[in-house]
Amino acid sequence: MPLYKICPSCGTKNAPSEMICTNPDCLADLSRVRPVEFREEAPEPAIALSTAGEAERHEQVCPGEKTLVDGGVSVTLIVNGQEIPVRNGDIIGRHHKGKEVLKDYMTVSRAHAQIFIEGENVYIVDLESTNGVLINGVKIPPNTRYRIADGSVVYLSSRVRAEVRTRKGVSG
């Protein structure tokens, strides 16, 4: 399965060796972006978790080069009562988005997970974190997108519980 660096600014798929986004209108720094896997062939079902916590089967979305676009959904992670608003492409971790809240949790990696918003769907990717990502108690494999929804509970390691809140019709 091919690896790509997804630009956090414009959503362009870049080769894993790229250090700068290949989109001439963007040219964002990709030196800290980790490559993730995307299937180019027919998609296989991926597990998504409902707000009730049951596993549901959905088709894995295989975006084109510039299809990772915020669809008017705002996403907030709530950790210990503190809100972490996230946007398409944001990396969550001790040295990235949410660092003010997560800096003292050594079980959370510096670059732990990444959020993608496509239309009204929200996805999370474990960026090969040391202690993993769990969605409603189910550990997800690294470098694979999994759908999360309003009310989902995401654990960044076994110690940090984040509740997902989404609102439609609001640009994140």
Q: Structural domain of residue 114, as residue ranges?
A: 73-168
Q: Per the structure, how many domains does the chain have?
A: 1
Give dist(CA 106, CA 160) in Å, integer.
10
Q: Does the pLDDT at position 171 exceed 70?
A: no
pLDDT tens column, 70-105: 557 899 999 999 999 999 999 999 999 999 999 999
Tell me the percentage of the chain whose pLDDT exceeds 70: 77
Give dist(CA 20, CA 1) in Å, integer.
22
Q: For residue 148, is it within any domain?
A: yes
Reported as half-sphere exposure (CB side, CA atoms, 13 A), residue 14 has a value of: 26
pLDDT category at 33 given cuts 50, 70, 90 is: confident
Q: For residue 135, is it within any domain?
A: yes
Quick one: DSSP state of residue 65? T
Give dist(CA 78, CA 82) in Å, integer.
5
Count Cβ atoms within 10 A of the Cβ of residue 25 and give its class: 0-12 exposed, 13-18 middle, 19 or more buried. Answer: exposed
Q: Which two tokens stand for residue 90?
A: 């944001």
19 phi, psi to nearest 5 deg: -105, -15
Q: What is the pTM of this model?
A: 0.61
Q: For residue 104, is it within any domain?
A: yes
What's the confidence (pLDDT) of residue 155? Answer: 94
Q: For residue 40, is it within any domain?
A: no
What's the confidence (pLDDT) of residue 91? Answer: 94
Average pLDDT over residues 123-138: 91
CATH number at residue 84: 2.60.200.20
Q: For residue 18, is it within any domain?
A: no
Q: For residue 42, is it within any domain?
A: no
Q: For residue 84, is it within any domain?
A: yes
- 3-class secondary-structure state, position 47: strand
Q: For residue 26, is it within any domain?
A: no
Which residues are CB-contacts of 100 (< 8 A; sequence separation ≥ 6)? none
Quick one: DSSP state of residue 82? E
